[in-house]
Structure 1
Amino acid sequence: MLKKMGEAVARVARKVNETVESGSDTLDLAECKLVSFPIGIYKVLRNVTDQIHLITLANNELKSLTSKFMTTFCQLRELHLEGNFLHRLPNEVSTLRHLQAIDLSRNQFRDFPEQLTTLPALETINLEENNIVDVPVEKLAAMPALRSINLRFNPLSAEVRVIAPPLIKFDMLMSPEGARAPPP
């Protein structure tokens, strides 16, 4: 167990150092078995947080992200969080004024993360394979940049299915009612 954890930590450290040394705008911590975002990373990245535009934390074991994560990486353009155990986002996600794409597919959202509707640059939201029943259609319709939202394989209410199409100017992907996601 510890050896495995040590390997995971070393891998994270290596990837973080790569980002710092190469002056990259990307931090890729996908598939690092992370249960939370490692606090030490904030220190290591403190001089470069503004240049980081893409963070991938896909396929980890995250149950939540902190407000510090959101306020630290406030220059993000893309955030990939698919394949975790997230069921909500901190309110500070509203500080991500430049965010254009967020992938929250294959998580455990029951409620639509409404903070996303306040983001002026957001173009793409992926919430495929969650447990969302209700969607704030009016708020989504008012989003200035939104181009597509993927809600496939969510148990959306009949009401959402009826109300949404006439109100929205963007692509809203929905599965046929009762459709089940293919097994991974």
Structure 2
Amino acid sequence: MQKRMGEAVARVARKVNDTVENKTDSLDLANCKLMTFPVGIYKAMRTVTEGIHRISLANNELKSLTSRFVTTFSQLRELNLSGNYLHRLPEEVTSLLHLRAINLSRNRFRRFPEPLAAVATLETIDLEENEIAGEKRCRQRSWPPWHRCGASTCRRTPSAPTCACSSGPSSPSTCCCPRRSPSPKPERVSGRALALGRSLLRCGVRFG
């Protein structure tokens, strides 16, 4: 158990360290067995958060997304939260003024996340394999460009005031299929990453 936890901490520390050192615009923490978003990451990435445009937290064990996460990474264009235990989104999601795509597939939503209706820049919302039953999954509220349909994946087309919707696999051009992250390459853990890992443990980061 301790060995697996140590490996998970080292993986998170290495990925955060790589993002900070290389000043990339993405952070991939998919498959890291996270039960919460590590608070220590906010401090570790404080100098680069404005440049982060894509984050993947897919296939973890997250039960909630905090307002601090949303306000810290305010420049997000793409957010992948698929494969978690989420059932709601914080109201602060409405402040993501550049968000174009969000993947919420394989979670525990029972209704359409209302805060997303206020994000005018959104082009794709993926709600595949949730617990939404007996109601329209792509619903029009205060956002007319989104079209009523019974599908769980919705995409606003650039040339029309309606969206293309699909509840099953489709061609990549419809943006209904989540992107697959490239297989991680084995990397050596640097001294800085090890120090970050110890910091995450001190902050009480929980792993499954």
Q: Which amino acid aligns with 1:172?
A: C
User: In 1, distance between residues paired with 2:112 and 2:18?
Assistant: 34
**C-alpha root-mean-square deviation of aligned residues, in Å?**
2.2
Corresponding residue for 1:83? 83
State the partner residue of 2:165: 172
Distance in structure 2 (CA, Å) of the matches to 1:39 and 1:93: 19
CA contact (8 A) 2:84 2:106 kept: yes
CA contact (8 A) 1:117 1:143 kept: no
Amino acid paired to 2:141 = K
* Alpha-carbon distance in 1 for matches of 2:86, 2:140: 24
1:150–1:35 CA distance, 2 compared to 1 (3 A): farther
Q: Matches of 1:150 and 1:12 in 2, distance apart?
A: 35
Q: Aligned in 2, Cα 1:150/1:55: closer, same or farther, shift over 3 Å?
A: farther
2:38 aligned with 1:38:
yes
Q: Do the aligned partners of 1:110 and 1:131 also contact (CA within 8 Å) in 2?
A: yes
Which residue number corresponds to residue 67 of structure 1? 67
Aligned to 2:144: 142
CA positional deviation for 1:172: 1.7
User: Equivalent residue of 1:137, what SS?
Assistant: coil
Return the alpha-carbon distance in structure 1 between the equivalents of residues 89 and 81 of structure 2: 11
Q: Which has the higher contact order (CA 8 A, sep 6+)?
A: 2
Tell me the amino acid that sits aligned with residue 55 of structure 1: I
**Structure 2 residue 29 is the aligned partner of structure 1 residue 29:** yes
The one-letter amino acid paired with 2:111 is D
What is the identity, as a one-letter code, of the residue corresponding to 1:37?
A: F
Retained in 2: the 8 A contact 1:31–1:60?
A: yes
Which of structure 1's runs of 4+ aligned residues deviate more than 6 A?
A: none
Structure 2: tracts of 5 or more residues without a match = 154-160, 169-208
Structure 1 residue 141 displacement after superposition: 5.1
**5 Å matches for 1:103-182?**
103-133=103-133, 134=135, 135=137, 137-139=139-141, 142-143=144-145, 151=152, 169-174=162-167
- Which residue in 2 is equivalent to 1:161? none
Who is 1:16 aligned against?
Answer: 16
In the TM superposition, residue 150 of structure 1 has moved relative to its aligned partner by 5.5
- Which stretch of the first structure deviates more once superposed, 130-139 or 97-106? 130-139
Contact 1:118–1:143 (Cα < 8 Å) also in 2: no
Residues 20, 48 of structure 2: 8 Å contact kept: yes
Q: Return the alpha-carbon distance in structure 1 between the equivalents of residues 51 and 24 of structure 2.
A: 8
Provide the TM-score with structure 2 as the length reference.
0.71
Total equivalences in the alignment: 158
Q: Percent identity?
A: 59
Offset of residue 95 of structure 1: 1.1
TM-score relative to the length of structure 1? 0.80
Unaligned runs of 5+ in 1: 153-167, 176-184
- Shift of residue 143, structure 1, vs aligned partner: 4.0
